[in-house]
Chains A and B, each alone.
Chain A
């Protein structure tokens, strides 16, 4: 919304104050002002009122005329002018030699052989309207040579307020409300609105009007006739133009003017078409043509203004074409009403048609304003068109009253909320300047909220704090830390595990953390042969490519891997993100936080890569939980899983995730030759799984004894069953085992295991070690494992 400083100053005397500084304060205390503050008219000078004394056709040009104009100087000035509307006796805006318009300085200039000593200007050239059809015509009776800037308010400071920042302030949708804020910020008085006395018409007949629907809160109307003026005063037109509206005709301009001034939308009907005003909804949908000539479908929820049973306007949104004021209209009915804000907002959305009026109604306008707006309208109407005649009394139905809100609070409440000392006088003055009625007794305040703030905006004590502090200025606040007591805090275990996992993967394994979206990208997945798995969908997705929520991160991650195949021959990526697996019995989503890892390599074979990933998971588990992983063969449940080497990953009995190879159908699409493996771990399950404390063991003072065994392992026997044998039989003195060598041929798989024996109490004898080794060997034999070459 554009605001004119001149207009604001109609209502508050800001003389002697820095206007730009006030606008800055307004931005910090009331609503955000856009950066570009316009200094209207500052680039225009030397333009005066001049009368055209003679008009001759230019001998060389059909368009140009040779004029003699009286610019208030001793002699007439010769001017060449191309405007079509020149005529003798017309007064216009004349830029004298030396005048400035924008970057141009007017100088004598030959035009097709004749020198023009100045320029007659259109309104667009001066910048006071977009009318460039001819030169400006001045109807006011003023002396030639009068400076146009003295005559009209061409100079103005115009600033724009972001509409969004006015969402909760219905009172700020007109200049008068804005002026109240400036008055409070500047510490000056707000002038009362000059209005007509409507009581004078009380003895006239009422308009036939009836509210038949509770969505209409108040409806005020009045009939006027004998309106003669058709063009609005220049200053009014300038203000409308500066505030982003076009002048249409006096009556339309005046309704707009009033809306921009008071924030109250108004409408004028041709009284012949609207004899019996009824406000209601219709049972059935129908088509209605609004005054912009558009046919709109109206449903049964849309409130309409009607003439009897014939709709004539969409309440609060736009009038109808048929009841519009036309040239032969003699009597008009002025409407000033208040409607239910939610209803207007919903109708606007349904009609997909937002107007200056509906924008205001949506904000919960103050119904108290409805009759005042009519009084103000009449005041201005009479001021500019003296012969108008009021032909009805004010007809006013006030169906819905907001309750008067009184808020009581102590000074200590303000102190506690602000954390600084704001004295009682400041509080009283601030609130009073904003229209609140304040009484103060022994540090106890009682505040009555003014009607224009009481429709939804100020309802609580906390709202009063905002009023006090914003005018006080947040820049003026002393900034202090709290005096709250200190207690230890604990970070959520899932959060801290997440951090630890990230550190291990990044720092130890050089993996890269990526983010992806929570929904499946069907097109991208299709390109790598992963169909989107059926799962809960977005109800209002605008893009069919992203409607299904992902069950697993791996498909989105594989899409990312594909887009990075040229990044490097070897890389690994991971993400800790969310997935959803359907809904539970309460119809709520089963959401899981997953760690997804994918390794990609063009240089390593699949087995090496698989074990790298297995080791990463083991290190994570060992580091964070001092526990070990176990694995269980799993059956594929996702299309991207290779059926061989797919394993469920467990900590104790808790299944925490999966590790596997990417299915060749998918991996070939990503890269024909690369090895690709993945793992997906549920971070919450990982967190819940058993974790062990560190148990310190004192290092032995006695020598350790190593014993190497080279074992031949038959196909199908896993290391796990070997380790089970020696873990059972090794006793206290078997401290550790490790594989020091592996030897594979086509037929034989063999490993060399180093057993480390030691005791904290004594030096071990070789015979007792040998005894254990022998028992292990005979146990191993039972599962088919024997000594190599034995």
Chain B
């Protein structure tokens, strides 16, 4: 046999025995590399006659192509095998095991507060921040509750040693808000639209329904023609957004010194839809939010002329709202710091 035939057989033999890409590479180098046997054959041709060179050259080239083709084929084959191996070696996962859902949580008040803020921000209200320790003027005097007014008896206020007090209602911020934005209203006609969520305090015994510390969200709007009709609109809109359904509201007269007329706002019971159930004491309604038209004396005290401007104010019980929304039965859970209950409020959006 001539050299090319021997080599061809040799290559075929070797390729058939090869199972790794590394070996294959060795084979390629051994035959087709710079110092490979086939390359050597081509180099050796310079000693042959022109005639021989032509025939032999063609033979060697044929062998070279054959080898390259076979190596290529084998490479492909081995690569496929490798992928198949990789696939078959992949274990089957058990996707039915419980997922890791550990995540942080917001306080339920934060969630409800944010929903209310989002709604009011979308309607052009600014969100204000206000201290918890306030003066008698802020909490009472400026709100048309002079000294000796019975309304002061109704609220069991926590007084501090220095004569200040823990605010018993978010309305304590009203005067400051009116003064802060009043100038812009009067000079530039920019309506006052503000909400201020905050913590309030009442000196009373706690039980499942009563807390000495709770959250409210006050809202005020003052402009030239703010009406009772507007007030009902804003309250209804906000509550329908919070509960994500059409909420029926009704107003009843309510007495609060800082509004006139003053209202108690009821919403149709969320549990029974108004049919009457134990949650609403079979009335079909839940009392939710005192509100009203800002009392002329309060406007005046805030530097706003009640003859020119009117406004509404409301004091939404955020704590109450959160309890209703999430079905929290014991108000004390909210300040308990108990992660077993509070870690459940991951996000509400």
Contact = CB atoms under 8 A, between A and B. Distances in A.
A32 B263 CA distance: 11
B335 interface: yes
Interface string B269-306: 00000000000011100000000010110000000001
Given A512-B342, A515-B107, A538-B158, A35 B281 contact: yes
A31 B252 CA distance: 8
Contacts of B153: 345, 349
B263 to A, nearest CB: 7
Point out which of A28, A492, A515, A593 has the most chain B C-beta atoms below 10 A from its C-beta. A515
A466 B253 contact: yes
B160 A589 contact: yes
Nearest to A574: B104
Nearest to A511: B104
B162 A485 contact: no
A563 B338 contact: yes
A560 B114 contact: no
Interface in A510-528: 510-518
A27 interface: yes
Interface string A453-494: 000000011110110011000110111111111110111101
A652 interface: no
Point out which of B191, B339, B340 has the most chain A C-beta atoms below 10 A from its C-beta. B339
A430 B255 CA distance: 20
Contacts of A463: 260-261
A204 interface: no
Given A30-B253, A167-B255, A417 B133 contact: no
A485 B232 CA distance: 19
Contacts of A492: 126-129
B148 A509 contact: no
A125 to B, nearest CB: 28
A278 interface: no
Given A418-B229, A477-B232, A518-B166, A485 B126 contact: no
Contacts of B58: none
Interface string A319-340: 0000000000000000000000
B21 interface: no
A647 interface: no
B334 interface: yes
B244 interface: no
B11 interface: no
B274 to A, nearest CB: 13
Interface in A54-80: none
A502 B124 contact: no
A588 B227 contact: no
A548 to B, nearest CB: 10
Interface string B188-207: 01110100000101010100
B255 A165 contact: yes
Contacts of B340: 567
A477 B228 contact: yes
Nearest to B257: A168
Contacts of A469: 228, 261
Contacts of A506: 103-106, 346-347
B102 interface: yes
Contacts of A95: none
Contacts of B61: none
A537 B159 CA distance: 9
Contact of B252 (A27, A489, A511): A27
B343 interface: yes
Interface string A23-47: 0000111111001000000000000
Interface string A425-461: 0000000000000000000000000000000000011
B227 A512 contact: no
B66 interface: no
Interface stretch (B37-45, B69-77, B78-86, B218-226): B218-226
Contacts of A466: 253, 260-262
B162 A587 contact: yes
Contacts of B205: 542
B131 interface: yes
Contacts of B346: 506
A549 interface: yes
Given A486-B124, A489-B126, A578-B132, A515 B230 contact: no
A540 B158 CA distance: 6
A701 interface: no
A724 interface: no
Contacts of B320: none
A712 interface: no
B168 interface: no
A182 to B, nearest CB: 15
Interface in A373-399: none
Nearest to B261: A466
Interface string A520-553: 0000000000000000111111100000010000
Query: 6 tightest A-B contacts by CB?
Result: A419-B227, A419-B229, A560-B337, A466-B261, A506-B104, A474-B251
8 contacts: A465-B260, A474-B232, A484-B193, A486-B124, A506-B106, A514-B339, A564-B339, A578-B199
Given A540-B203, A588-B135, 14 more contacts: A32-B264, A345-B150, A416-B225, A417-B227, A419-B225, A462-B296, A470-B261, A482-B226, A484-B224, A484-B225, A506-B105, A518-B132, A578-B132, A578-B199
